[in-house]
Amino acid sequence: SAVGRGPEVPFRSEAYRISALARGKELRLTLSALDPAALPPQDLVFRFGMSGSFRLCPAAELPRHAHLRFLTRESPPRALCFVDPRRFGSWRLGDAWQPERGPCVVSEYQAFRENVLKNLDDRAFDKPICEVLLNQKYFNGIGNYLRAEILYRLKIPPFEKARTVLEALKEQEQERRKKDPSLTLSKKVKLMQENPDLLELCHSVPMEVITAEKQLFDPEDSDNYAAFKDWLRCYLVPGMSSLRDRSGRTIWFQVGAWGCCPELGGPQTTLPRGQQSVSSLLGLVLHSLALMPTQVTSPVKRRHRAAANPPKSEEGEEKKEEEADGPRKGRARGRRKAAAAPALPDPEVPPSVRRSRRTSARRGQGEAGSP
């Protein structure tokens, strides 16, 4: 489309086939001409951002924000469209996955698990588990609603330190191997189904959505969206609580299970079931206050930071928006500037009256400052 941000696709063929392969949060399309000698295949790798999707519709009834279209030869023709209302998604030419993304939690489960457990010394795991679950270097494919559902099912406090949670899994796995070193694959699958751990749920919870009979994520289809809402147990569910983490993303969790505050170094907060509804508001306020020093910076520091960091590329900004719909920086600063700006003189007040007011004010300051 004329407003699409992606590159032009140098592929023109009267008859071609489209195949797809997913890996984490990326999707690779391969366009192959039916006559292989006529044109070499063309690969495109898509990132969906927060609102990207594919839709098949009549070519005469294109949806809004259809930024890339593949037309069929039938009569009347249809169009396979990449639709992205918020434009956080993108596509690029070539078949290469993004190098900073780890193994896929769905299609490369064993490699994903090993990648996490062997790198627990990484400073990334110093953060709360709810933030680490969005790190695509280790949890490629986990997004905001999935992390909430996974932590809720295991009753893991979202602000518990990630390394604390995952090291326990590593120890359990080592003990399991010592007890039964000849554990077969079928027994492993059975144990995983009976008592899944965090990493296993990172695989099985997305699979529940993928294998669902209906496509659950179309808000324009009321039946499908209702099915998705019924599937959710925590995310956006009435009665659950939410907080913004340090990256600006909203984490949903069960009231009374918000975990420890890493900034304060305090113990995990747990309440008796009867006291959760009474004390939850106080706990949320205390946790919000604990996060404030990491979110507020002085105007001087912001100016130095802006000077040190030149503007990022458009692709970098899109990636930032995809991974964190962060806090709107700069608004508070704008309000402070507006409040500090000198008031303009009132045109209705004569100049002589204004001068007398200033004189009276100076005299009052002098009297107040005298011993």
Beta strands 66-71 and 53-58 are: unpaired
Instruction: List b or e across 189-218, with b for residues whose CB sees 16 or more CB atoms inside 10 angstroms.
Output: eeebeeebbbbbbbbbbbeebeeeeeebee
pLDDT under 50: residue ranges of the chain: 260-303, 306-307, 311-318, 320-321, 323-329, 332, 334, 337-344, 347, 367-371
Beta strands 90-93 and 42-47 are: antiparallel
The SS3 of residue 292 is helix
Whole-angstrom distance, CA of residue 264 vs CA of residue 357: 50
For the segment 262-278, what is each residue's pLDDT rounded down to a tens digit?
A: 443 333 333 333 333 33
For the segment 296-354, what is each residue's pLDDT rounded down to a tens digit?
A: 334 444 445 544 555 444 444 445 445 444 344 455 454 554 444 444 455 455 555 55
Per-residue confidence (pLDDT) for residue 338, from 0 to 100? 46
Q: Which domains does the chain have, with CATH numbers?
A: 16-93 (3.20.190.10), 109-218+228-253 (1.10.8.50)
**Tokens 């326990």, located at residue:** 168
Question: What pTM did the predictor assign?
Answer: 0.66
Whole-angstrom distance, CA of residue 52 vs CA of residue 82: 7
Per-residue confidence (pLDDT) for residue 60, from 0 to 100? 94
Phi, psi of 23 (to 5 degrees): -150, 105
Fill in the amino acid letter for 43.
Answer: D
Helix extents (H) in 220-268: 222-231
